[in-house]
Amino acid sequence: MGTTAAADAREGRAGRPADEGRRGRPRRRNGVTRMDKIRIVGGNRLNGTIPISGAKNAALPLMIASLLTDETLTLENVPRLADVNGLQRILVNHGVDYAVNGKRPGEDALAGQTVSLTARSITDTTAPYELVSKMRASFWVIGPLLARMRECRVSLPGGCAIGTRPVDLFLMGLERLGAQIDVDGGYVVARAPNGLVGGRIVFPKVSVGATHTLMMAAALAKGETVIENAAREPEVVDLARCLTAMGAEIEGAGSETIRIQGVDRLRGARHKVVSDRIEAGTYAMAVAMTGGDVLLENAEADLLGEPIEVLRRVGAEIVETNRGLQVRRNGHGIVATDVETQPFPGFPTDLQAQFMALMTMAKGTSRITETIFENRFMHVAELARFGARIQLDGQVATVEGVERLRGAPVMATDLRASVSLVIAGLAAEGETMVNRVYHLDRGFERLEDKIGRCGAVIERIAG
C-alpha cells in the first residue's frame, strides 16, 4: 500500500511524517518548544554491521527532478530523514503527488524506502520563503520549474550557519540559458517565455548545487548546453543517470565538462539512490575512534575518494567486500595526519568535523584546513568540552591529540558538527549528552539504532 501527500497538503496537513515529534525535531508542548537529546556512555568498541542508507545529497535533487515530467518518477533507497520530509512538503506545494510504499513483511526497519513522485500538473510556480528558508536545497526547484513552466518565483534561501553560500552561480547559469532574472522582495523571478536555450556555462568555482540545477534545466532546453568546471561528486553522477533514464541526453557527468543535449520532454523512470558516502565515512571514523570491527553494508570505496586513503594513513584497516566495506582499527592506535577539504575526489567538507573528532585522540598533531565554507569550525568549542586541544587560526585548525576524552554535555550546531560530538562521545570516559539532535535527524537515518546494534551504549531521550 502507498500513502499520498498531495491531498493532505491541500487540506493543510502537508505530508507530516508519522514519526515527527519523536525523532529529535523541535516540538511544542503546552506552548514550550521541546527537543530530544542523545545520551552516550563511552568506552565500547563497535562490532557488527551498519547498513548505509541512500545518500541525502543525491535523494534531494532526484526528488526535485520529478518536476521535469508529468509521468511518475519512482525512487528506491530513499533515506528517512527530516530534510527528505521537508522537501516533500515543498514539492507537494507545487502540485507533486508523493506516495511512500509500505514496508514489506520481514523488511529491515533500516532499509531505504521507495517513493513515487508524480508532477502531472504544476499547480503553483512559487516557492515561498517559509518553505525555502528551512532548507537551502529547495532553491534548486528553480531549474526544473523554469524549464518546464517557463516562469517561476523562488525565494532566496537566506544565510546559513556554516556560510553564506550565495546563489549567484545559479542565476548566472540560468541567464546563459536565456532566462530573464529579476530579484524582487527577496524572491528570484525567472522567466523564459520562449523556453530555455542551450548555452555554454563556465563556473568560476565548483558548485554542486548549481551543477545539479543547471543540469536539470538544460535537460529541457533547446539545443546543446556545455557546463565547464562542473562538480564531479557521485551525487551529480547519480542525478545524470536518473535523468538519462528519463530520456535526457547527458555526457561527461563525473568529469569537469558535462554536455547536455536538450529534449522536448522527459518521461517517468525508476531509479535507486546511490549509497551515502558521507554516512559511510562517518561510521568508518567512529570505528577508527573506538576500535572494533564493522561491516559498512552497501558502502562503496569509489564513492568515498580521498577519505579512504586518509583513514588508512591514520591507522584504519579498510577492506572492500562484495557486501560493502569492512573497517577495523589496527593495533597501533590512531596516528595524526593533515587534511585539506576539497571538492570531490578530494577530502569532503562534510567529513571535516568527524575527522577532527578522530584527531582529538590521535598520536601527534594534525592540521585541518577548511577551504569550502568560511564558518565550519563551530564544533571546535564543543569538542573542547571533552578535553580536546584545538587551536584555530583562520581556516586552519591545529589539533593536538590527547590520551583520553571525558564525557560532557554538548550542543549540536549543525548537521555534520553534531555527529562529530557523537564520535567523541563514543570514545570518551563517562556520559555525554548531545543536545539539539534535530540537526542529526536532517542527515543521519536512525543513527542511535545503527550504532546501538554494534555495541554502543546510546539512547534517545525525548524532550
Same domain, yes or no: 177 and 234: yes
A 10 A CB-CB count for 116 gives 18
Domain limit, last residue, from 221, 248, 272:
272
Q: Residues near 6 by Cβ (< 8 Å), separated by ≥ 6?
A: 92, 95, 96, 97, 98
Residue 168 is labelled as binding a ligand: yes
Domain membership of residue 299 (yes or no) is yes
A 10 A CB-CB count for 2 gives 11
- Give the range of the structural domain holding residue 199, as residue numbers without chain letter: 2-9+54-272
Domain membership of residue 150 (yes or no) is yes
Residue 136 is labelled as binding a ligand: yes
Domain membership of residue 81 (yes or no) is yes
> Rounded to an integer, what distance in angstroms lies between the CA atom of residue 328 and that of residue 293?
4
Domain membership of residue 20 (yes or no) is no
Number of structural domains in the chain:
2
Q: Is 160 among the residues known to form the active site?
A: yes
Same domain, yes or no: 192 and 48: no
Residue 57 is labelled as binding a ligand: yes
Same domain, yes or no: 376 and 322: yes
Same domain, yes or no: 171 and 294: no
Same domain, yes or no: 323 and 382: yes
> Rounded to an integer, what distance in angstroms lies between the CA atom of residue 10 and that of residue 93?
8
Same domain, yes or no: 314 and 206: no
Q: Residues near 200 by Cβ (< 8 Å), separated by ≥ 6?
A: 176, 225, 226, 228
Same domain, yes or no: 81 and 40: no
* CATH code, domain with 84: 3.65.10.10
Residue 396 is labelled as binding a ligand: no
Same domain, yes or no: 111 and 127: yes
Helices of type H across 29-128: 56-64, 82-93
pTM here is: 0.90
The predicted structure's pLDDT at residue 112 = 85
Same domain, yes or no: 267 and 366: no
Same domain, yes or no: 255 and 399: no
Per-residue pLDDT of the chain (463 residues; tens, 9 = 90+): 444 443 343 333 333 333 334 444 455 443 334 589 999 999 999 999 999 999 999 999 999 999 999 999 999 999 999 999 999 999 999 999 999 986 555 556 667 899 999 999 999 999 999 989 888 899 999 999 999 999 999 999 864 443 445 789 999 999 999 999 999 999 999 999 999 999 999 999 999 999 999 999 999 999 999 999 999 999 999 999 999 999 999 999 999 999 999 999 999 999 999 999 999 999 999 999 999 999 999 999 999 989 999 999 999 999 999 999 999 998 888 999 999 999 999 999 999 999 999 999 999 999 999 998 777 798 999 999 999 999 999 999 999 999 999 999 999 888 778 899 999 999 999 999 999 888 888 889 999 999 999 999 999 998 7
Same domain, yes or no: 42 and 79: no
